[in-house]
Structure 1
Amino acid sequence: MATLYATPANDEPAWWFVVSADHIFLTHDGEVPFGQLNQLAFPDLAQYQVIEIGEIRERTCYLVMADYMDEQFKGGDFAPLRQLLRPDDMEIFEMAGRARQFSDFLNTHRFCGRCGTRMQSVEWELAMHCHQCQHRCYPRVSPCIIVAITKGEQLLLAQGKRHKAGLYSILAGFVEAGENLEQALKREVYEEAGIRVKNIQYHMSQPWSFPHSLMMGFTAEWDSGNLHIDPHELVTGDWFPINDLPQIPPQGTIARTLIDIAIKR
């Protein structure tokens, strides 16, 4: 549970997740700052909102909500969160994602969505409360399905419009109101690829802070239909031999894990 209005001591060794919009402050070595405040080239944090968001290796993690590309933080630069996506240290990436989601929530819930009154943060939990109409909001989590689909010795891969050039991944989509995960999976696959699937099997989940998704990972097998890629969602897609895949997501992502599971079955 996060603690609002944290007041870290100057000599407390801690992890410092300084978030500005969708970027995070990293040292010149590309790391999340760790150490005592009096040893870091940070401004006076009394001017900032500081939130205790958890622990890593028995050391407290703090979110510091910075201004846009705040130049008062020295010794590094603000960088995209994906730079912390490292298979050998996912704990740091996951905590950074938590920090980014909390920051996004607080920045986008300053006013009540019901009556428009300025909201106040709740001291004992991460929530925003409207004292005018008693509406209370919590950080949003958007459930998504992601699925690796095989057809014999082939794997379905597609290139999304937001993927970097040449990168292919598996199909994914948001769960809609009133759907269970299996229904969402079947709908998304049919909408994006025009096929039906069978033998759906759940494997794992992963929080994905772009901006606030929870990815639920599955494998499935082709059942029927000819491939028809939705041009509104995807650039291209096809069946690829499992021993001759194009560029795919890196280790540490749920997409890559599901691909590895699918091609070993």
Structure 2
Amino acid sequence: MKHRPDIDEQAYWLILSQDKLVQSKGQACLIKQSWSELSFISAYADDVVKVGEYRQSNCYMVDLGQETPEHDDLELVSLRAALMSEQQDAFNILARAWQVALFLRTHKYCGQCGSQMEAVNWELAMHCHRCQHRCYPRISPCIIVAIRKGQQILLAQGAHHKGGMYSTLAGFVESGESLEQAVHREVMEEVGIKVKNLRYFSSQPWPFPHSLMVGFLAEWDEGDIQVDGKEILAADWFDFNNLPLIPPSFSIAGQLIQTTINAPDQSF
């Protein structure tokens, strides 16, 4: 898992500080340089983690924790802003890097006996040599669903949405619950309606903080929209040709919305 870098290898670097990305001012979030050029993180040579490949080059992650690099040509960018501004191929590697960093940050000590844990060098895991407890990155499954009613789609504004954005409904799967059961429960809890003709669409890793979004398409069955005003601030049926501000197309929410709009009625 840890990888001491070759000093001259040209690679892409994702450098994390607190909950932000370190990037060169005015440049993309992934820095392409050799390790010898990254003098401001030279002390972290033993903490480099390979998180995959990007555009035919290795991609490495360095987590500075709560430290902030002091360099005039660098700036800190929020993770969400970086993800929203990058291309799809960059989104995937950014998402993985943040989830790996969060896992390593939160598993320094054993949750079973409290001893210090060590990284396993052949897989992404942390191991306690005192009680032999081993931990792997946590993945939290979430459902996300687009609901259609004739030539309208149900969109909601959640408490966490910025700038008046509306999106599809989503929520975490509870213990002992199937994905389909989670869809029906979340829809009823958030907007007070029932849905039918539920079908799987696709999935997408979502690093806020370690979710796997499992997407569904559905049709309205019965009931009127009722929101709680806390988790969901507003929700309504929107005509396909008169949508509010919606998520970008690379997100699974954006893809669900576009698929719902483009699909003929008989496909549901």
Per-residue deviation, residues 208-256 of structure 1 (Å, max 9, x unmatched): 0011001011110000111111323111111111111111111211101
Partner of 1:258: 256
Partner of 2:23: 26
Following the alignment from structure 1 to structure 2, what is the Cα–Cα distance between the partners of residues 9 and 162?
Answer: 42
Give how far 1:85 is off.
3.3
RMSD: 1.7
The normalised TM-score by structure 1 is: 0.93
Partner of 1:70: 68
Following the alignment from structure 2 to structure 1, what is the Cα–Cα distance between the partners of residues 6 and 71?
Answer: 18
Partner of 1:90: 88
Partner of 2:197: 199
Following the alignment from structure 2 to structure 1, what is the Cα–Cα distance between the partners of residues 210 and 84?
Answer: 19
Following the alignment from structure 1 to structure 2, what is the Cα–Cα distance between the partners of residues 114 and 233?
Answer: 34
Following the alignment from structure 1 to structure 2, what is the Cα–Cα distance between the partners of residues 167 and 91?
Answer: 24
Question: For the structure 1 residues 16 and 74, does the alpha-carbon distance in structure 2 shift closer, same or farther, using more than 3 Å as the test?
Answer: farther
Contact 1:150 1:156 in 2 (8 A): yes
Picking from 171, 175, 178, the partner of 2:173 is 175
Question: For the structure 1 residues 253 and 69, does the alpha-carbon distance in structure 2 shift closer, same or farther, using more than 3 Å as the test?
Answer: farther
Q: One-letter code of the match for 1:142? A: S
Contact 2:170 2:186 in 1 (8 A): yes
Q: One-letter code of the match for 1:10? A: I
Question: For the structure 1 residues 209 and 9, does the alpha-carbon distance in structure 2 shift closer, same or farther, using more than 3 Å as the test?
Answer: same
Following the alignment from structure 2 to structure 1, what is the Cα–Cα distance between the partners of residues 110 and 229?
Answer: 37
What is the DSSP-based 3-state SS (H/G/I as helix, E as strand, rest coil) of the residue aligned with 1:85? helix
Give how far 1:38 is off.
2.7
Q: One-letter code of the match for 2:101? A: S
What is the DSSP-based 3-state SS (H/G/I as helix, E as strand, rest coil) of the residue aligned with 2:40? coil
What is the DSSP-based 3-state SS (H/G/I as helix, E as strand, rest coil) of the residue aligned with 1:106? helix
Following the alignment from structure 1 to structure 2, what is the Cα–Cα distance between the partners of residues 216 and 150?
Answer: 18
Following the alignment from structure 2 to structure 1, what is the Cα–Cα distance between the partners of residues 70 and 60?
Answer: 17
Q: Which has the higher helix share?
A: 2
The normalised TM-score by structure 2 is: 0.92
Q: One-letter code of the match for 2:106? A: T
What is the DSSP-based 3-state SS (H/G/I as helix, E as strand, rest coil) of the residue aligned with 2:250? coil
Following the alignment from structure 1 to structure 2, what is the Cα–Cα distance between the partners of residues 41 and 110?
Answer: 26
Picking from 78, 101, 104, the partner of 2:102 is 104
Give how far 1:45 is off.
4.1
Following the alignment from structure 1 to structure 2, what is the Cα–Cα distance between the partners of residues 74 and 125?
Answer: 36
Contact 2:52 2:58 in 1 (8 A): yes
Picking from 57, 63, 66, the partner of 2:55 is 57
Tell me whether 140-149 or 67-76 shows the greater mean CA deviation.
67-76
Question: For the structure 1 residues 173 and 232, does the alpha-carbon distance in structure 2 shift closer, same or farther, using more than 3 Å as the test?
Answer: same
Partner of 2:266: none
Question: For the structure 1 residues 187 and 14, does the alpha-carbon distance in structure 2 shift closer, same or farther, using more than 3 Å as the test?
Answer: same
Partner of 2:186: 188
User: In percent, how many aligned pairs have the same letter?
Assistant: 48
Following the alignment from structure 1 to structure 2, what is the Cα–Cα distance between the partners of residues 21 and 102?
Answer: 14
What is the DSSP-based 3-state SS (H/G/I as helix, E as strand, rest coil) of the residue aligned with 2:147? strand
Give how far 1:83 is off.
2.8
Q: One-letter code of the match for 2:187? A: V
Task: Provide structure 1 residue ranges, at least 5 long, that are not aligned to the other structure.
Answer: none
Task: Provide structure 2 residue ranges, at least 5 long, that are not aligned to the other structure.
Answer: 264-268
Q: One-letter code of the match for 1:138? A: Y
Per-residue deviation, residues 172-196 of structure 1 (Å, max 9, x unmatched): 0011111111111111101111111
Following the alignment from structure 1 to structure 2, what is the Cα–Cα distance between the partners of residues 216 and 30?
Answer: 32
Q: One-letter code of the match for 1:14? A: A
Question: For the structure 1 residues 126 and 88, does the alpha-carbon distance in structure 2 shift closer, same or farther, using more than 3 Å as the test?
Answer: closer
